[in-house]
Amino acid sequence: MRKGISPVIATVIIVAVAIAIAIAVAGWLMGLWGAYGKYESVHILPDSYIETGNNSILHLHLKNDGNSEALIYKVVVNGEEHNETIALAPGQDATINITLTGTYQPGAIYTVTVYTASGSVITASIPAR
């Protein structure tokens, strides 16, 4: 005759596993586990542009659609680096005005890359006016 575990012990084990899974799912859904529930989502908005003239200026309109603050530390325009520090709270948008040193032609499209402290890299094509 073969013996297994008793039905009472099997029931206790199943209930304990179900409770542990329920606690883990509830913690994840409520953001109790810290970074798992937090994220930044920075976007370069389409009304961004480069104003050309004697001193070209990048008008960079950014928005953070995430639920965590985004810290921007660097902006690269057509290979030209600018160390800009700006913090965007969740849901916040802001325009950064950066004076450029290179030559920019009206009607041309330039690549702009934004770097955040958490490692996000956001790239967009921005027109010059």
Q: What is the pLDDT of residues 63-120, one digit of tens each?
A: 999 888 999 999 999 889 999 899 999 999 999 999 998 889 999 999 999 999 989 9
Give, in degrees to the nearest 5, the angle at Cα 108 between 103 and 111.
Answer: 80
Domain 39-127 in CATH 3.30.470.30? The answer is no
Q: Are 128 and 105 in contact (CB under 8 A)?
A: yes
pTM, two decimals, is 0.70
What is the domain partition of the chain in residue ranges? 7-36, 39-127
Predicted confidence (pLDDT) per residue in 24-71, tens digit: 888 777 665 555 567 888 999 999 999 998 889 999 999 999 888 999
Tokens of residue 67, six digits: 């639920």
